[in-house]
Chains A and B, each alone.
Chain A
């Protein structure tokens, strides 16, 4: 049935949005090629060029979004067969549905603003052309992820996104910490990607849609159903295995360890990749395969997703409260908010024997809002870091007077993140909490995430208050000459702040739920306004802000005293729940252990065998020596005497006749060798050239003989 449905949707859309989307993907790719190839020549122009390319791409994305809103259905797919072996078919194609259209706009808008912001931020860096080329490549890959029609193609772009992330984290690769962070990000996300790949392979090999093995996203439910007929357990395992990829990419517990380290990259990169877009790719993937999650009617798969998200939301928020580095605070805040989205994706209720993921739309709504205000926060922190040359919040303070625009936009975005009415975060966070509250009758699998989410909702305003106060207010704790940068820095901040205020209204229940009517899962779900949640969460925000101010602004509660009083908790949080240590203990130590064991075996056992053999051989040698010197030598000496006599005879023959022959032969070879030895130049290239020429001649000769 899904198949038929997909066909109908497939037929009904127009092809124009697809073509436009392909163009908007192609433009940054062309930009990447141009900047990448001619970067050395056009070093000065690379920023402007890149910004213009993304600007055009952004405008086209707006058109795509408008067309999709107007049509209300996904556009027609444009694809070709990429690979066909027997009945295993892989397509390569593009399609724009409502979710892709929203993602296209979010990605290009933030990418454009980051490009603009970076002009000043990266000014004077020797690698600026490389920086812009990589940003362009990243944008291409990210747009590819959201418009792919095929899981394999999605995986391809997904890995490309990971590669760009690796390159950009390690942008300042001469710094040891930067390239180590890049490696860590790459390896840790790969752990998740292995799960994604396994899930994909199971579907491709086992799934059977009318006799064809395919990974087309529209056909995946049918494929998984055919697998479920044979092995029912796989219906839970496949989506979770794909979800492992999302856990890695979206930095969920326990694979979140790479994201805080990824802050080694330039700050605009953190804004674009590690706050707004790439980390959202995991959310996007989970939403894309929601069709597979709802096939598991027991709901186990979705509950696992929900618990992972809820725990991550809570645990990252606790860590964010004790970080000193402004970017680390934002990084843990990002992990926490991503956990919120993942949790929301796992919220469902049963209806007529089917699972309705009621958290689907709120999650994607939060994804969009979060992208804007978190990009704003990161760019704001970039502006601050650029001005003060430090990332430690305890060395800042009092910056509001010196940098009013950065300060104001940062405060607005913080309040949006906290979820204050009527800013963006309020609408989506309360939608998530409402959807979760509607399923509380399901027992602990809903209660536990709900409580964790409320805790995170309390911690978020608290750590943002702390961050804002330490950075912008109070007395300057270290002298600096901070001042606002040019319009290229402030314009993105202002734009994002305005969006952080306004974007929430597109999903507000009081304004017609435009977003929910546009992006939904199979059918639109009307959201019932829950006043308890609204007032409760607002109360929580005020309480948290008050607590934060009480500690950091008014000094009613002394920070040192609190640290002393709650020392074990503080140490636990300061060390990030010892997750990095746990990874070291679980994964890295055993690896070194195995290596050491191998070394030990090598040194003691293998070397022992060799040494033992040698000792034995030595003893045997002594025995043989005795035999040799007494028995054999006597014989040999006798034989020697006879031989000497004979030799004298032969000597004459040898000196006169044989030597003459040999010498003349040697002279001949020496004569030739003088010339041929020049071929032995010792250069590999020359040998290779001779080899190629010989083979070519041989082939020509063979060809002549055959034809």
Chain B
């Protein structure tokens, strides 16, 4: 039981670090990394839940594998966008990237 709690705390901590990073950092690549951290926080939480419920026999783990695959795809697209942004603008600082401003 304590193991599960520890893992849940780890997951929450990872998620919070990710959120903090995603909100405060300026470099797009770092933000992407923080989003990865958040995803991994969620993954750890799933694993914790799955391991505390052995009767589900790996459903949680499978979900995590899917999440990892999706995260990989997402990273590819995100990096592609960042590279495109770099080519167009010469920087990847999100603070300067405010085309959506009114």
Contacts and interface: CB of A to CB of B under 8 A. Distances in A.
B9 interface: no
Interface string B53-67: 000011001000000
B101 A85 contact: no
B68 to A, nearest CB: 14
Given A683-B94, A684-B97, A685-B24, A677 B58 contact: no
Contacts of B22: 685, 688
Contacts of B101: 680-682
Contact of B23 (A86, A681, A682, A685): A685
Given A682-B101, A683-B98, A689 B23 contact: yes
A66 B23 CA distance: 55
A692 interface: yes
B61 A681 contact: no
A92 B31 CA distance: 32
Contact of B58 (A86, A681, A682): A86
Interface in A240-282: none
Interface in A640-686: 677, 680-685
Nearest to A88: B58
A86 B24 CA distance: 42
B94 to A, nearest CB: 5
B94 A85 contact: no
B100 A85 contact: no
Contacts of B98: 681-683
A669 to B, nearest CB: 14
Interface centre among B61, B95, B97, B100 (most CB of A within 10 A): B100
A680 B101 CA distance: 6
Given A689-B23, A692-B23, A682 B57 contact: no
Contact of A680 (B23, B31, B58, B102): B102
B95 A692 contact: no
Contact of A682 (B19, B31, B100): B100
Interface in B51-102: 57-58, 61, 94-95, 97-102
Contacts of A85: 57-58, 61
Contacts of A685: 22-24, 31, 94-95
B89 to A, nearest CB: 14
Contacts of A683: 94-95, 98
Interface string B1-38: 00000000000000000010011100000010000000
B99 to A, nearest CB: 7
Nearest to A687: B100
A683 B61 CA distance: 36
Nearest to B101: A682
Nearest to B51: A84
Interface in A79-130: 85-86
A680 B57 CA distance: 47
Closest 7 CB pairs of A and B: A682-B101, A682-B98, A85-B58, A682-B100, A680-B102, A677-B102, A689-B23
11 contacts: A85-B57, A86-B57, A677-B102, A680-B100, A681-B101, A682-B97, A682-B99, A683-B98, A684-B94, A685-B23, A685-B24
Interface of B: 19, 22-24, 31, 57-58, 61, 94-95, 97-102
Interface of A: 85-86, 677, 680-685, 688-689, 692
